[in-house]
Amino acid sequence: MNERINLHGTLALVRPDLENDPVRQQGEIGIITYADEVHNEIYVIFDSGKEGIYQGEALFQFKTPDEVGASPVDNAREMELKDYKDVYKIGLLLDLGRSTDLMKALEIARDNPDIWRDVFVTVGERIEQRQKQLVGR
């Protein structure tokens, strides 16, 4: 039961719609340096050198590449063409998996709030899903 999600070193996007961010990094991409799952505190460092502590719900990460790839197929009739193209591009970039590709994918997603539900999960949701899996064992 002490298994943890390895978030250390993964990219996260501070929600652009986050209202109270003392570090003022809304919409910025950072690297998770530590995750205290007990207190729901995620430590993030940014290129500017700033560091912040966020609740899991304040940070976005991508869903799995399979989930992102399925989204344009499952929601094609409901999506605007621009949104469809953005989700498709993000899926391709995630499949490539290089750090530059992940950064580009985060930038595309950040700039299109209409696709957030199709491509993102919060870090808090990711931790919660993992804890449910562990309890089910």
pTM of the model: 0.84
One DSSP character per residue, 50-75 reads -EEEE-GGGEEEE--HHHHHHHHHHT
Q: What pLDDT sits at residue 120?
A: 96
- Write the pLDDT tens digit of every residue in 78-109: 889 999 999 999 999 999 989 899 999 999 99
Structural domains in the chain, sorted by start: 11-60+122-136 (2.30.30), 62-120 (no CATH)
Distance, CA of 58 to CA of 42 (rounded, Å): 9
pLDDT < 50 regions, the chain: 1-4
> What is the structure's pLDDT at 133?
66
